[in-house]
């Protein structure tokens, strides 16, 4: 108790830089995080969609079952579903879609951070319109060297069209005039928006569900703090 109050170290012990910081532990970056927030969703996904663990397709009609099994292999369905569960388990929701390119079926996984779904039926999560938008940077060569330029990627899907703006320059504080920018529009002809929005754990009247670690974040932070402090003490004094 005396050492703690006076901030004095006994002979033979060392003090690392920053160990007497007045900043609370929860505001410091842990030096030896356990990363449970990443490990737990990955473990759940591996148990559900891992190698030799994914669900099996079964049907009363052998020809239909064979076709669906071949479709799952062609689209790499189970690895895609593993990716979708990783995102949904970590953030609470995920978007899944499909398309055909020159006759080849493709399953798409949409990161929910960049997506905004609009529903025809909110309770059943039936998607009417789906927008995906994010910014990315590129190194552009200029007479003075290279400059980092930011661009928008935007994609909008509904019951009739799939529209993509692949590269639109980001303007300072302004929304681009999307109608005048270069875009690619395809009439898919599915008759519905080819997106399924899935909540990890259902939450009524919400767009996103609950993530795998819902309610456990203080415990995760405590584990990281304890492991990091033990590491610092062992390295400094042992």
Residue 110 pLDDT? 97
Beta bridge pairs of residue 109 = 96
Query: pLDDT tens, 153-212?
Result: 999 999 999 999 999 999 888 899 999 999 999 999 999 999 999 999 999 888 999 999
Chunked mean pLDDT (size 10), the chain, 238 residues: 55 64 77 90 92 90 95 94 96 95 94 96 92 95 89 96 96 89 94 96 89 92 92 85
The number of beta carbons lying within 10 Å of the beta carbon of residue 228 is 18
Can you give the pLDDT at residue 3?
47
Cα angle value 107/109/112 (rounded, 5°) = 155
pTM of the complete model beyond 0.75: yes
Neighbours of 74 (CB within 10 A): 12
Q: What was the pLDDT predicted at 1?
A: 45
Report pLDDT for 18. Answer: 55
CA 53 to chain centre: 23
Q: Would you say how long the chain is, in residues?
A: 238
Residues with Cβ within 8 Å of 119's Cβ and at least 6 positions away in sequence, in order, are 125, 126, 127, 128, 197
pLDDT of residue 6: 52
Separation CA 182–CA 29 (nearest Å): 43
Q: What is the DSSP letter of 32?
A: S
């Amino acid at each position: 108790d005396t050492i703690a109050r006076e901030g004095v170290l006994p002979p033979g012990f060392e003090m690392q830089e920053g160990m007497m910081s007045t900043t609370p532990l929860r505001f410091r970056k842990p030096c030896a995080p356990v990363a449970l927030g990443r490990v737990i969703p990955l473990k759940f996904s591996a148990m559900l969609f891992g190698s030799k663990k994914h669900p099996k397709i079964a049907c009363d009609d052998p020809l239909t079952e064979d076709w669906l099994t071949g479709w799952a292999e062609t689209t790499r369905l189970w690895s895609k579903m593993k990716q979708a569960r990783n995102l949904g388990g970590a953030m609470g929701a995920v978007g899944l879609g499909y398309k055909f390119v020159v006759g080849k079926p493709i399953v798409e996984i949409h990161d929910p951070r960049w997506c905004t779904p609009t529903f025809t039926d909110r309770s059943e999560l039936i998607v009417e319109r789906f927008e995906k938008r994010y910014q990315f940077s590129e190194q552009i060569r200029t007479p003075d060297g290279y400059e980092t330029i930011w661009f928008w990627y935007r994609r909008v899907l509904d019951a009739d069209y799939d529209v993509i703006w692949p590269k639109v320059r980001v303007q300072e504080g302004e929304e681009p005039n999307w109608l005048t920018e270069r875009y690619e529009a395809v009439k898919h002809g599915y008759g519905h928006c080819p997106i399924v929005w899935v909540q990890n754990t259902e939450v009524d009247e919400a767009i996103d569900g609950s993530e795998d670690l819902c309610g456990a974040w203080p415990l995760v932070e405590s584990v990281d703090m304890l492991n990091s402090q033990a590491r610092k003490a062992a390295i400094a004094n042992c």
